[in-house]
Structure formats: C-alpha cells, structure tokens
Amino acid sequence: MSSKSVKLRRLLSLPILSVFVLVGFIYYITIFVFLEDWLGLHSSSGSLNTLIFSVLASFTLFSFLVCATTDPGRVPSGYVPDIEHSDASDQESKKNDVQLRRCDKCSAFKPPRAHHCRVCKRCVLRMDHHCLWINNCVGHQNYKAYVILVLYATVTNIYSSVIIVCSAILKDWAFNGSSSIKIFYICSAIMTMGFSFTLGTLLGWHIYLITRNKTTIEYYESVRAEWLARKSGQNYHHPFDVGFYKNITLILGPNMLKWLFPTAVSHLKDGIQFPTVRDSL
C-alpha cells in the first residue's frame, strides 16, 4: 500500500472527521455568531479579530494535518543494536541490555526509546503515545507537530472563549434575551472554556516533558526507576536529560524562529541514537 493511500485512509477515520466538524463548528459560531454580535464583521476591530482568529484556526488545522499524516518513525528493517557502543559496564550487562530492547511482537530488535504500538501493530521510534484524535502514533517524526498543534488549539480556544464572554457581557439581554439564546451562550462558553482548560493542561504536561527530554512512556518508567533507586540508596537521572535548553532544541530545533512551524524538523536525526548525559562527560 502506497504512503498516499495510507495517509488518505488515516484521514477518513471517524475521530479525524469529528475533529474537522468540531473545528468548523467552533469557527462558525465564534466568527458569525458571537463576533458579529459583539463588534460586527464589517467594523475595523471586527475584521481584525476575524483575521487573527482565522489565522490561528488555520495554523491549528495545518498542524493537525501534519501530525496526522506524518509517519511517527519506523524502525529500519534489519536493525541490530551496536553492542560495542553500549553504555553497559561489562559484556554480560551489554547482552542483557540488548535482550531487553528486543520486541517480542515484532520478533526484532528495537532502538532505545522505541516501543511497540498495539494499535499500529509495529514499533515506533521515540514513541510518546497513540493518539485517537489524529488516528496516529505520536513519535520521533511528528512529536513537534503534535506539541505545536496543542499550542495552537489552546490559544484558539482561549481566543474563542474571550470573544464569547465579551459578546455575552455587552449583549442587550433585555431586548433580546430569550432563554434559548441564554442557554446557547452558556453552553458555548462552557465548551470552549472546557477545551481551553483541557488543552492547556495537556500543553503544560508536554512542555514539562520537553524540558526533561522524556516521552510520556519514559515518564512513567522513570517514576518506577526513581523509586527503585531510592530504595537502594542511589540517585536516578534520566539518561536523555541533557539540560533544559538543549532538551528544548532537540525537539523544537536550534532556530527559535522555526519553533512554531510544525514542518520545520530538519534538525531531527534518524531516531536510532540520541545524545545522553554520558556524551557530555
């Protein structure tokens, strides 16, 4: 099956179509109902807000498409770990480490940070999680697009919430304040504020992960590793945490001007090897 047909099948899933419908609905009510009622679309301030909100919504949809259609990263066929450059201290531990990085489901070796996805039925490089709403795994090649998507979606929903609230505050409810309109305003505000809070929380979570250079899977693995280290009187340090700013540039890129562009991923390597704390010693 060609890559184009795979992308098309992925986009025609019910969750993705639901996202398109939801984004279209929020865009329509924000611009053509609440902004029109608040400022009017033909006023200078109304036109400016329409332009800003349209740009944000477009960036959100573009990031969504990039995230959904980009392969998160495949383990190269015939991949074999490099035992000679293993971090283990002796030959026995090297053998054990290699054994641990073998996927029983794929019957093949897998690189560091790669994990098997039960939905995609394959191993994914630097896998973070499988996302239902993009019908795709979030991994090495599309993690930046995913974070940028969450960022744009959060800002867009906050902007929509502000427009709805401002429209409600300045509306002449004595003249046109039927109960059905009030319910519509309240439900719309609850919906956009709910999305703002949910997406904002998710954004904060992934900002935390980026600054620690962890995936969601690695976070939960590190919780157990830290507990075991404390139990044996030792300290645990995530091996891929190479410093606050370096961690950020490994995901978003070294050029800050390109951080907000989901397709600016030329800085990404092969996803097989990653810099570690030991590399800087």
Q: Which residue numbers are catalytic?
A: 131
Q: Considering only CA atoms, which of 189, 198, 195, 126 is closest in space to residue 163?
A: 189
Q: Considering only CA atoms, which of 208, 104, 203 is closest in space to residue 155?
A: 203
Please provide the size of the chain in residues: 281
Cβ atoms within 10 Å, residue 85 = 8
- Residue 268: alpha-carbon gap to chain centroid: 16
Q: CA of 239: how far to CAs of 200, 202, 267, 276, in Å?
A: 28, 24, 20, 5
Q: Considering only CA atoms, which of 13, 54, 9, 59 is closest in space to residue 32?
A: 54
Q: How far apart are CA 202 and CA 69, in angstroms?
A: 21
